[in-house]
Amino acid sequence: MQLLSFFAVMGSQRAALLLAVKSFLIKIVIYWFAELVVCQLDGSRLICKFIGKGFLPCVVSFAIMDFVVLPQIRNALKRRRHKHDFKNK
């Protein structure tokens, strides 16, 4: 029984990691699209100021958000939802 719960937790962690990696890669694609297209056409847009800081600061902020902040928020929401569902039963 403990072995099954261990694999369930591992599967859940793997799914969370895949979601974080997918989100991170999408942000990188958006970064490059904005830098190569949007900021070349209209440099006065707000995103161009963020991109103007450089690739590395953007990647670090994306990584912190996707791998540290968002998983904590998702876990808190899951706990809250689970607690709410438990009360309704």
- Please, which contacts does 43-52 make with residues 24 or more away whose CB atoms are closer than 8 Å? none
pLDDT in tens, 38-79: 888 888 888 888 888 888 888 888 889 888 888 888 888 888
Torsion of CA 14, 17, 22, 26, to 10 degrees: 180
> pTM of the entire structure?
0.63
**pLDDT for the residue 3:** 44
pLDDT in tens, 5-23: 544 555 677 888 888 889 8
For residues 53 and 45, the answer to whether their CB atoms sit within 8 Å is no
Q: Tokens 């902020």 map to which residue?
A: 61
